[in-house]
């Protein structure tokens, strides 16, 4: 018995010795690719950061220093496939489109978009990211996203107060046409047309559906020629990235990405959006995104 144990121990030692150890993440290479100083934590995680001191922010009337919560960061951890990254980027409202588009182009995922404060001026949002692959490629993706944000501020030092373009005026909306495009019956209330596409799941073991809030919906305000569309699309985790990309491809602004529930199965996420344009074009953009989410 003792000889068997000794032989097994020797075998394991020889086997492990024959497997080359994976090299730790190269902090210098990540720093160079990201254009930001990198530090390595005791557990081998490499972190980079960028403090948003380029725009003066007040929270609840108080001048807010970046060190209190206006820091963009990304952390890289070694994985069997190479590396994973997660992080958070501080964005003002007019930076979100550019940051999100650059993140997708750089191979990153958007995992959340939300606020951290009340009564902030200008309004501050936080775009959380993720990704898997080669560490240097991920770092380049982070750099591209941060560069896109900086480009917006170089063009206009003060964050914008609206998206721009013509402001829709309330008029006549063809709810039959909007409903036909989306494939559901459209309703109208006080001049606002609304279309809803329900889904089904469970919450704490109980089956729930559209009447409990599990639905994608869009509201159209204005006229057929120029309308505003806002709404919400429900997605499972593996549908989020493709849905966001489809909305952005159609020029729709993503204004939030978060969850609404706890104990749901599967776990659902919701993206809120805003866009202006001809009502029929907006309806087609919504329909295409909902179809991606339901694939």
Q: Say if residue 92 is in the same domain as residue 37.
A: yes
Q: Say if residue 29 is in the same domain as residue 151.
A: yes
Distance between CA 280 and CA 282 in Å, rounded? 5
Tell me the residue length of the chain: 295
pLDDT in tens, 204-225: 999 999 999 999 999 999 999 9
Across the beta sheet with 82-92, what order do the strands follow? 38-40, 46-51, 71-79, 82-92, 124-133, 109-114, 253-258, 268-277, 227-236, 215-222, 192-198, 187-189
First to last CA, the chain: 57
Q: Say if residue 151 is in the same domain as residue 236.
A: no
Show the tokens assigned to 189. Answer: 């209330």
Q: What is the CATH number of the domain that holds 221?
A: 3.30.70
pLDDT in tens, 7-26: 544 444 544 444 444 458 99
Q: Say if residue 179 is in the same domain as residue 150.
A: no
Q: Say if residue 199 is in the same domain as residue 148.
A: no
Asked, for residue 160, whether it belongs to a domain, the answer is no
Of 123, 155, 187, the domain-final residue: 155
Asked, for residue 112, whether it belongs to a domain, the answer is yes
Give the residue numbers spanning the domain of 49: 21-155
| pLDDT over 70 percentage in the chain | 92
Asked, for residue 33, whether it belongs to a domain, the answer is yes
| Total domains in the fold of the chain | 2
- pTM for the model: 0.89
Q: Say if residue 140 is in the same domain as residue 218.
A: no
Asked, for residue 88, whether it belongs to a domain, the answer is yes
Among 228, 238, 222, 231, smallest CA distance to 286 is for 231
- Rounded to an integer, the average pLDDT of 265-287 is 97
Of 155, 185, 202, the domain-final residue: 155
Of 127, 155, 183, the domain-final residue: 155
Asked, for residue 100, whether it belongs to a domain, the answer is yes
| pLDDT over 90 percentage in the chain | 90
User: How confident is residue 295, by pLDDT bands cut at 50, 70 and 90?
Assistant: low
């Amino acid at each position: 018995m003792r000889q068997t144990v000794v032989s097994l121990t020797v075998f394991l030692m020889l086997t492990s010795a024959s497997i080359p150890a994976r090299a730790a993440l190269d902090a210098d290479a990540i720093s160079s690719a990201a254009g930001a100083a990198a530090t390595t934590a005791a557990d081998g995680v490499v972190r980079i950061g960028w403090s948003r001191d380029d725009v003066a922010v007040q929270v609840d009337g108080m001048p807010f220093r970046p060190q209190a919560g206006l820091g963009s960061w990304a952390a890289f951890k070694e994985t069997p496939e190479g590396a994973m990254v997660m992080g958070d980027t501080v964005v003002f409202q007019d930076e979100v489109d550019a940051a999100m588009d650059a993140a997708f182009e750089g191979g990153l995922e958007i995992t959340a978009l939300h606020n951290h404060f009340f009564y902030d001026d200008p309004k501050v949002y936080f775009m959380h990211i993720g990704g898997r692959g080669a560490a240097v490629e991920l770092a380049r993706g982070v750099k591209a996203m941060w560069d896109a944000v900086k480009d917006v501020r170089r063009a206009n030092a003060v964050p914008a107060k609206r998206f721009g373009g013509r402001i829709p005026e309330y008029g006549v909306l063809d709810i039959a046409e909007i409903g036909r495009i989306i494939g559901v019956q459209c309703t109208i209330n006080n001049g606002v047309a609304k279309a809803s596409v329900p889904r089904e799941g469970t919450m704490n073991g109980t089956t729930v559906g559209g009447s409990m809030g599990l639905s994608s919906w869009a509201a159209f305000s204005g006229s057929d020629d120029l309308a505003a569309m806002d709404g919400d699309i429900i997605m499972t985790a593996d549908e989020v990235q493709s849905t966001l990309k489809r909305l952005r491809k159609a020029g729709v602004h993503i204004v939030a990405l978060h969850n609404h529930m706890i104990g749901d199965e599967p776990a659902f996420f919701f993206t809120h959006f805003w866009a202006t344009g001809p009502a029929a074009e907006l309806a087609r953009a919504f329909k295409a995104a909902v179809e991606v989410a339901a694939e």
